Amino acid sequence: MPDPYPLLLRPIILEKVWGGRRLESLGKVLPNPGAKYGESWELADMSATSASGAGGGAIRSSIANGELRGKTLHDAAALWGDAMLGRSPQPDSNFPLLIKFLDAAENLSVQVHPSPTYAAATPNAFLKTECWYIIAADPGALIYKGIRPDITRDQFAALARAGDPALVNAMIALPAVPGECHNLPSGTVHALGAGVLVAEVQTPSDTTYRVYDWGRTGREMHIEQTLKCATFPGEPGYDELLRASTVGALKPGQSRTRLVTTDFFTVDELRPGAGDLIPLGALATGKNGLDSCFALIVIDGECELAADARTFQPVALQRGDTALVPAAIAARSLLAAGTNLRALMACIA
């Protein structure tokens, strides 16, 4: 059995009606010159997806480097067990993170993912807590994050059932600012506006309920499911939704900041200077206090993942790459920064 080492993962590119060609700016190869691509799944291990999301089948990232080249992330997790996660995995469980890049050339549907209560009571409905890190945005681009405090459940329901475009005005609209990060607890009604490119870190689910689709036809809508699991003003969880972190871009001189802390994962942004050598072990700690695996997502620039005492062979990364570092080597991992490095570090809680 090979010893744990950092895994480079092959992206899985998906066409979307709202997508474009901006994923090419992250080094992604888009198969069809005339198609619109909205998602690049950078790290995925799902035995099934929803029919209205990724089509219903399994999606599992394949490994692009080292002795496990050609195997899947699921294979590696099964092989390495607690050396991968920092805790013993459940039998036949999926990897507990899903990481994507999203190119919203057009508005995404206004949608919601199951609230904890709804997910617990509904078969095949899975919690999806996520965060968006805004990589680039067109001037005037917006994101939509939650229902306005002055909108009641009944008012929103009437707009949703009528397919009224005024439903968008019932949402909290925020400017899409590159470098900002937005946390969206499951149950938050939300949408990416047109002209936004984001990195998304989330729990491994694509259970999505659409409530408004900007006049597009032919896609399934889920009005009643949305109304059952959305978080409304005055209801439990709404104050948490409003408090969910929106972290601004790093200020000059800052090299790291914590963007998101959830029950499932943490996300840090790293912007070290060229030539800096950063020990990553202090950030790779789960809520059990033990070392945890983490993903490094390169937003811009380049770097090298190395190890003290040469525990593993160095791995070179550039803009758009994602690497997964198993828990067994997390504490010995070092980041050697190149020029203009900007990276996200997503750690399993």
pLDDT digits (tens, 9 = 90+) for 68-122: 999 999 999 999 998 998 876 666 678 999 999 999 999 999 999 998 888 899 9
**Among 275, 304, 280, CA closest to 291:** 280
Mean per-residue pLDDT over the chain, rounded: 91
Its pTM stands at: 0.94
pLDDT of residue 92: 64
**Among 97, 120, 14, 95, CA closest to 57:** 14
Q: What residues form DSSP beta bridges with 60?
A: 45
What is the tens place of the pLDDT at every residue in 125-141?
A: 888 999 999 999 999 99
H/E stretch holding 85 reads helix 82-85
pLDDT of residue 89: 65
Q: What is the set of active-site residues?
A: 210
pLDDT of residue 241: 76
- C-alpha distances in Å from residue 27, one per residue of 32, 197, 223, 300: 15, 13, 37, 11
In percent, the amount of the chain with pLDDT more than 70 equals 94
